[in-house]
Chains A and B, each alone.
Chain A
């Protein structure tokens, strides 16, 4: 084994890796879309008038949040067939990511709702607005800007957790790198290139989120140091 970086090999594998990057982005995007919806369901589940349901949903959220995504992936992937329910790797991945990050997003939503000043709720009550009208016209427009930074962070978070999907055989970037590395028995270039691709994609995303956060804060009249 030598530590020499081989550019010809890098150029040879780069198209393959870039194609696989599309899969990674797709996985992150679909997973995120599911997580956004699942997060809402978890949020509503914790705010029902029935205390019993709230407590159960709360515990489920806590459970999913404090167990590793990796084992959840294995669990969904392997337990289905045991009961005759065969899911493809992609479907498993999307369900698991949706559930896992849905719990995180529900926390973001909760924080955003609690970030809306109490007086706003009281004013709605005083003006006798209906619940739907209150949420739609008063609370939601104020809560959404508060939720944006957190939501953005988890988008990047999902993106950075997509390599885990390679363990159940989703053909994303990391999977491609491992396959290419195994073919040529050179892991230096594939894995390093994966790191570079991740950096190239996630740093602009992080900067974008920071900018968004700043503009949201400014629009809300809060000044940040």
Chain B
């Protein structure tokens, strides 16, 4: 069986799986972005209780493996009467896990804003909320976006794990086709190439564009 007839037969199935993968990617990215900003801000809070909660959350989710969290959300939460759909538990587990890593990036970004900006905000007697939302937060994006881009590529790779909790994504479809046809090189090879294409030609250029946009917004031209 040539590779082209393999693609003709199973290409559409793999594409359907790809759509699910992209859906997981988008949902999890949005969730992780929100979580990282919230917990990143909590991490630099002066209130020690708030800061403690964020630290515990971050250390907990960074310390245990994503796969363990995923299985925990899917197989253990029903014990507590909370049954999540496979897709939801996948997105939530990935979002929470990467949110913990992202929160550290956001914290680093907030600390990296030049001291003069903080002092300027104090000198102008801005309220704490205004100081953060108007002065500090807009300036962290050019700092946090490059490391966040790396993390987002990691997230794309992590979406493959949701196949293990029965989300019908690209990995799941590839496994399924492998089980039927035993053309392992073709189906897993195609899956690898699709992941590479998503990352190299869609995700990374998009994130670069965001970086340029963020840099321009605060008046720093980026090459």
Chain B 95-118 per-residue mask, 1 if CB under 8 angstroms from chain A, else 0:
000000000000000010000000
Chain A 175-217 per-residue mask, 1 if CB under 8 angstroms from chain B, else 0:
0001001000001100110110011001100100000000000
Q: Does A161 contact B (CB under 8 A)?
A: yes
Q: Does A128 contact B (CB under 8 A)?
A: no
Q: Does A154 contact B (CB under 8 A)?
A: no
Can you add 15 more A-B contacts, CB < 8 Å, to A75-B189, A82-B185? Answer: A2-B79, A65-B153, A66-B156, A66-B157, A66-B195, A68-B158, A69-B160, A70-B160, A70-B161, A70-B163, A71-B160, A75-B188, A160-B66, A199-B63, A206-B62
What is the distance, in angstroms, from A212's C-beta to the closest C-beta of chain B? 17
Q: Of B59, B64, B182, B192, which is within 8 A of A195 by CB?
A: B64
Is the CB–CB distance between A66 and B158 below 8 Å? no
Q: Find chain B residues with CB under 8 A from A203 CB.
A: 59, 63
Q: Find chain A residues with CB under 8 A from B178 CB.
A: 74, 78
- How far does the alpha carbon of A79 sit from the alpha carbon of B175 in the complex, in Å? 12
Q: Does A67 contact B (CB under 8 A)?
A: yes
Is the CB–CB distance between A191 and B75 below 8 Å? yes
Q: Does B4 contact A (CB under 8 A)?
A: no
Number of residue pairs across A and B with beta carbons under 8 Å?
121
B179-193 interface with A by 8 A CB criterion: 182-185, 188-189, 191-192
A53-107 interface with B by 8 A CB criterion: 62-63, 65-72, 74-75, 78-79, 81-83
Q: Does B174 contact A (CB under 8 A)?
A: yes
Q: Does A42 contact B (CB under 8 A)?
A: no
Check A1/B184 contact, CB under 8 A, given A67-B192, A70-B171, A192-B72: no
What is the distance, in angstroms, from B136's C-beta to the closest C-beta of chain A? 17
- How far does the alpha carbon of A63 sit from the alpha carbon of B197 in the complex, in Å? 9
What is the distance, in angstroms, from A182's C-beta to the closest C-beta of chain B? 10
- How far does the alpha carbon of A74 sit from the alpha carbon of B182 in the complex, in Å? 12
Q: Find chain B residues with CB under 8 A from A160 CB.
A: 64-66
What is the distance, in angstroms, from B85's C-beta to the closest C-beta of chain A? 17
- How far does the alpha carbon of A178 sit from the alpha carbon of B70 in the complex, in Å? 13
Is the CB–CB distance between A174 and B67 below 8 Å? yes
Number of contacting residues on B, CB 8 A?
Answer: 45
- How far does the alpha carbon of A63 sit from the alpha carbon of B204 in the complex, in Å? 13
Q: Of A69, A75, A195, which is within 8 A of B157 by CB?
A: A69
What is the distance, in angstroms, from B160's C-beta to the closest C-beta of chain A? 4
Chain A 150-184 per-residue mask, 1 if CB under 8 angstroms from chain B, else 0:
00000000001111100100000010001001000
Residue of A nearest to B65 (CB): A160
What is the distance, in angstroms, from B115's C-beta to the closest C-beta of chain A? 11
Q: Does A3 contact B (CB under 8 A)?
A: yes
In the complex, the 5 A-B pairs of residues with the closest C-beta atoms, listed nearest first:
A78-B184, A68-B160, A66-B199, A163-B67, A75-B188
Q: Of B75, B81, B195, which is within 8 A of A67 by CB?
A: B195
Is the CB–CB distance between A79 and B188 below 8 Å? yes
Is the CB–CB distance between A82 and B195 below 8 Å? no
A-B contact pairs, 11 of them (CB 8 A): A66-B156, A66-B199, A70-B171, A71-B171, A75-B189, A82-B184, A82-B185, A187-B71, A199-B64, A202-B62, A202-B63
Q: Does B209 contact A (CB under 8 A)?
A: no
Q: Does B122 contact A (CB under 8 A)?
A: no
What is the distance, in angstroms, from B9's C-beta to the closest C-beta of chain A? 17
Is the CB–CB distance between B195 and A78 below 8 Å? no
Q: Does B164 contact A (CB under 8 A)?
A: yes
Q: Find chain A residues with CB under 8 A from B156 CB.
A: 66
Q: Find chain A residues with CB under 8 A from B161 CB.
A: 68, 70, 164
Q: Does A225 contact B (CB under 8 A)?
A: yes
